[in-house]
Amino acid sequence: MKKVLTAVLIVLSMAARISASVGVPGNFTITHTGSGNLLLRWADSVSNTPVMHYTIFRSTLPNVSDVNYSFVTNTAGSQAFIADAVPNTHQPFYYAVRAEDEAENKSGLSVIKKSYPFPPGWVDIESLNSKAFLRWEAGYDSEITQYNIYRAAAEEGPYTDVSFLSADQYLDTALLNGVVYYYRIA
């Protein structure tokens, strides 16, 4: 009788663990914070027991899986955000998040998100008699096909789209001497 009771307890314990599901983290977003950092945020996962931590994964492939990812970090407790310093490899990265509860149950992977191109790292502007020569460091994403150049006569705008090009420099020849201009490159 004791053996049967033990077997029943083990089966019940395993069944309870399998049925204790952990919800996949939702509303996953990626935001550039500047200086090569990304802020990853997501909605809390729903679980029958409290979430112990979230695990963040990064990949150069768009289909992040248990095979082709790099472990980034575990969050401290149920913290639903993390900053990641992106390697300077000039390529996009794909991220996913997984929740784990205190009973060590794991959720599936979140929706996979791509890190979008970083803005130019630095911009240099040289004034040349009613002309401006702009140069900038390319963004980190090798998939960038063009840059849009915007100009305004005031820092707060409004900005006008003056050109789009694939190069990392631009000569603006439609300027008036003595006027201060502001530029944005996207």
Question: What global pTM score does this model have?
Answer: 0.58
The pLDDT tens digits of the residues spanning 11-53 come to: 333 332 322 478 888 898 888 776 667 888 988 888 778 888 9
Of 180, 143, 184, 144, nearest to 162 (Cα)? 184
Residues of the chain with CATH 2.60.40.10: 2-114, 123-185
| Residue 119 near residue 110, CB atoms below 8 Å | no
CA distances from 65 to 44, 98, 111, 131, 157 (A): 21, 11, 11, 51, 44
Q: Is domain 2-114 classified as CATH 2.60.40.10?
A: yes
User: Domain 123-185 belongs to what topology?
Assistant: Immunoglobulin-like (2.60.40)
pLDDT digits (tens, 9 = 90+) for 90-115: 677 888 999 998 888 888 888 888 88
